[in-house]
Every structure is written in C-alpha cells, then in structure tokens.
Amino acid sequence: MSDQKLLGELVDIARAFAPYGKVADYIPALSNQNPDDLAICIYSIENESYYAGDHLKKFTLQSISKVITLALVLMDNGEDEVFSKVGMEPTGDPFNSIAKLETNIPSKPLNPMINAGALAVTHMIKGDTVIEKWDRLIEFISHLTGQQVTYNEDVAYSELQTANLNRSLCYFMKQHGVITGNIEDLLVLYTKQCAVEMNCVDLAKMGAVFANDGLDPESGRQLISKDVARICKTFMVTCGMYNSSGEFAIKVGIPAKSGVSGGIMGSVPGKCGIGIFGPALDEVGNSIAGTKLLEGLSAKYSWSIF
C-alpha cells in the first residue's frame, strides 16, 4: 500500500475520535469550526509531501506560534538573554496558570510554552514599534512556509477583546520586571501572532525545517540555526502538548506543538514535518483526532525519538 493511501486510511480511523472532542468556544471564529474536519500533510526533508483530508483549509496557529516566535527570539537575542527571562522546565500547572509566577521567586515563567512564558518571549522580538516587530515575525513565518502568510483579523480582534487573563499575566510580570513597556502593544502583537493563518501543508513545511536542523528542504537555506532548531524541538517534547505533554511523549514520542484551533505541528528529527488540522479538542486542549492520528503514524513508522 502506498504511503499516500495509508495516510488516507489512518485519517479515516482517527476521524472517528472527533465526536468525542469539542471545538474551542471562547470566541466565535473558533466555535464556528467544523468538529469533523481532519486534514494532514507530511512534508519530508527530501522536500516531498503527502496529504489527506481537506489539506487546503486554513486555520489559525494559536499556541503553535509560540515555537516559531521562540525560534526567532532565540536567534535575535541569544540563549542567555532569553533564558534569563523565561525558564526551561515543564510544569504540572495549566498553560494559562498564574500561580507559579507568585510562588517561584524570582518571578519568571517556567517555560516558553505556557502563556506567561510565550508573552515574555514575544516581548523580546526585536523592533522599535509593534509594526516593526510584527513585520519581522510575519516575514520569518513566511520564509518558513515558503510563501507570504497573513493573519485573521477577526480572530485577532476577538482574542484581544477577551485577553483579560493574558493581560493579568502581563501586568503580573511587569510588576516583577520580567517584561517592560506598554502591555496593550504587547497584547496586540501576541494576538496577531496567534491569529496567523495557514493550511496544514504550510504547517508541515515549517515542521520540516525544524526536523531538518533548521535547513529549508525547499530552498536549501539555513532559516533557523541548528542549535535553535534543537532547543525548539526539545520544548515541543517537554511541554508542547499542554498538560498531556508527558503522555504524548510516551505514546507518540514526536516533538509537537498544538494550538486551540486544532492544529498540531510535528517534527520528526531527520525525517519530516507534520501538519495537522482537526478542531475537535480533548479535555486538555489538543486536537483529539489529530493526537490519535499521530499515535497511529508513530507506531506505524517507528517515529518515536525514544
């Protein structure tokens, strides 16, 4: 059976889990998604791609953007500066929790994959203005996908209106000197970052760059330094799948980052990138069918890194 055909069969099997999940409902743009959607693209480091499902359907990155921004910021600022502001440790607390900021002294987000840490990372994007920072980020993402990407204005606007928990995290960190400057500016930038839109082929392409030690399989250019690509893949394993990162590492074993839109970006070192879109989420916030699909793929192709 061809890889392409096998992929279609695995998607059909995984789609059966979608009804057990539910789409995010905190903003209209997400709650309107079709819970039965499931699409995947596998993009090899030899620049070949396979897909199944409606692979051209667009969705927003949401938390997946945390890894991309981290890569940019690490290259801009260096590891020492970045990790003086955000930790490297996984946490047993929810992604949007504020408690550890209070109990850990000095106050510092535990890692860049929880909201507090991601906000601190976005705060470090180089640029004098929000526009300059945004331009740098969207250009970087466009390089990774190989084409110009944009963001969904409705989603960004809705998220900014409902971003009070992130506001709370920001002001808490501002109080403790983790971040400085104008908080609304930072939130505008962060919500745009989360609202960047693409399809699963673009997402797989980005995953392939990480899988290929930062080298673009298409252009052959080094878009991310090898060390930074490695660091990002490490965070994807230790804290990429919200509060089931540990379970995902055991059952799947592929560096991956998910978002509340139902997207998952996977990166199999030395092999391929994976882009998945399946908006029905499990109780911790990962695509329920997407996770099952990755479990099947990892078992089939022995992709666990462990």
Buried b (16+ CB within 10 A) or exposed e, 212-229: bbbbbbeeeeebbeeebb
- Residues within window 249-268 making contact with a second copy, judged by CB under 8 A: 249-250, 253, 255
Does 63 appear as a known binding residue?
yes
Given the residues 190, 192, 196, 237, the one annotated as active site: 190
Query: Which is the catalytic residue, given 44, 49, 50, 66?
Result: 66
What DSSP assignment string belongs to 204-216? HHHHHHHHTTTB-
Which window, 58-66, 87-95, 128-136, 140-148, contacts a second copy (CB under 8 A)?
Answer: 87-95
Nearest approach in angstroms of CB 46 to a second copy is: 20
242 is catalytic: yes
Give the DSSP letter of residue 56. Answer: T
Give the phi and the psi of residue 240 in degrees, each rounded to 5.
Answer: -85, -20
> In Å, how far are 94, 194, 211, 227 from 43, measured between CA atoms?
31, 23, 10, 21
Among residues 2, 80, 164, 220, which is the contact residue for a second copy, using CB under 8 A?
164
Footprint (CB under 8 A) of a second copy, residues 204-233: 230-231, 233
DSSP 277: E
Confirm whether 66 is a catalytic residue.
yes
Distance CA 292, CA 10 (A): 9
Helix axis angle for 226-239 and 65-85, nearest 10°, is 100
- The nearest distance, CB 302 to a second copy, in angstroms, is 10
Selected range binding a second copy among 6-14, 54-62, 130-138, 234-242, rule: CB under 8 A: 234-242
Q: Is 172 in the site for a second copy (CB under 8 A)?
A: yes
How many other CB atoms sit within 10 Å of the CB of residue 135? 12
Rounded distance between C-alpha atoms, residue 235 and residue 206, angstroms = 16
> Of the candidates 252, 249, 228, 226, which has an alpha carbon nearest to the alpha carbon of residue 238?
249
Length of the chain: 306
Q: Is 201 annotated as a binding residue?
A: no
Asked if residue 280 lies in contact with residue 35, where contact means CB atoms within 8 angstroms, the answer is yes
Ranges within 141-160 binding a second copy (CB under 8 A) = none
Contact region with a second copy (CB under 8 A), list: 40-48, 65-73, 166-174, 192-200: 166-174
Residue 238 beta carbon to a second copy: minimum distance, rounded to whole angstroms: 5
Q: CB 92 → a second copy: shortest distance, Å? A: 4
Kindly tell me which of 93 and 218 has the beta carbon lying closer to a second copy. 93
Chosen residue from 46, 48, 89, 185 binding a second copy by CB under 8 A: 89
Instruction: Considering only residues 101 through 130, tell me which ones interact with a second copy, judged by CB under 8 A.
Output: 102-104, 110-111
Where helices occur in the chain by DSSP H, the ranges are: 3-15, 28-31, 65-85, 99-103, 115-122, 130-145, 153-161, 164-175, 183-194, 200-211, 226-239, 245-251, 288-301
Binding residues for substrate: 63, 115, 159, 166, 190, 242, 260
Active site residues: 63, 66, 190, 242, 260
Binding site residues, a second copy, CB under 8 A: 87-93, 97-100, 102-104, 110-111, 164-165, 167-172, 174-175, 230-231, 233-235, 237-239, 243-247, 249-250, 253, 255, 269, 304-306
